[in-house]
Amino acid sequence: MNALHFFKPELLWLLPLALLPMISYGVKQFNFPGLEDWPKDLLSDWLRWGVRAIAALTLVSLIIAAAAPFTEGGTVTKVGEGAEIVVVLDRSGSMSENLQSDNQSINAKPVSKIEAARKVLLKFMEQRPADTFGLVAFNAAPISVAPLSADRELAKAAIKSAESNSSGFTALNRALAMGLDYFNGRPFTATRLIMLVSDGDAVIEPADREILKNQFKQYRAKLIWVYVHAGVEKNILDSVIAGDNEIITNAQKQEVEINQNVAMNRLFEELDIPYQAFEVNSEAGLQQAVAEIGRATNKPTRYEYRLPRQDYAIYFYVLTMLLLGALFWLKQIEIKAWKA
């Protein structure tokens, strides 16, 4: 059985006041010259002390009710399928480049990387009613666009508002850190996922890598990178980058830029965290990648659900009212005066 706690335990110091009815008798008394010849009335003695006991119990009940007694609810283990998904969306200038067209028609309108990402993510949200979503958009700096919540309309509006904007380097490490911070202070109740939708071209310094690694482990989150490219970039899943990043000549610089996304993929793998990468170069491929993510996050998740605490003040207040009612009734039947 759970231990009993009090929200205002300092009020329990008033409990000695409950002894007052034992000192001062509240029922009306009459003065007579002498009662020595009267027979002993045990019933009256019991009633007198009974009234005092009821009054004392009334004070005890009222003081305990005011101290707000409660017991902790504890926790129970539950199983669910919902996921907490933070979309980290790249809105750098390169995301405005067009994807390969799935429609062979000459009049087919080209679709940019970010347009296709928005369209697919909105459809993904509609298919995941049990999930909670948040959004971080980034280019040179990350922006917290929508907090992690069950407000689906807010998340959809945030996705629709994301536009590509070229403004220097890509602050990937700060965007991931901001996305992970969404889990701060939240109970672990579902699968936690950071969904990075980006075309890469970012560098994470060694010191920042260690910080990200610790944050992913602290929040028990999984990283999924949806690598969106236009079909001309280096394949991140089949290539390996070797050597260092020291740039001496233009040729070496170009080679580093080509291999940069491959290095990003290997960097995520070396973080020693749950990680998966999907490489897409068309809207159809993007839809397939997101569908696969949906299947991966549909696995049952065990989590601890904290039960609400049980308050008992109401029961003591009800007891107090009943005892006051009994005292009022006893007062009503009390003899006001002896008949002449």
Query: Is the model's pLDDT at 232 over the cut of 60?
Result: no
The token duo for 52 is: 């005092």
> What pLDDT is attached to residue 3?
83
Lowest mean pLDDT among 18-32, 39-53, 150-164, 233-247: 233-247
CB-CB contact of 290 with 120 (8 Å)? yes
CA distance 32 to 103: 113
- Strand 221-228 versus strand 191-198 pairing type: parallel
Angle at the Cα of 20 from the Cα atoms of 14 and 22, rounded to 5 degrees: 135
**Residues 6+ positions from 67 with CB-CB distance below 8 Å:** 6, 7, 8, 9, 11, 12
Strands of the sheet containing 142-149, edge to edge, are 142-149, 132-138, 83-90, 191-198, 221-228, 275-280
pTM: 0.58
Domains of the chain: 4-73+309-332 (no CATH), 76-305 (3.40.50.410)
Segment 60-75 mean pLDDT: 90
Lowest mean pLDDT among 63-72, 109-118, 240-249, 322-331: 240-249
Query: Is the model's pLDDT at 28 over the cut of 70?
Result: no
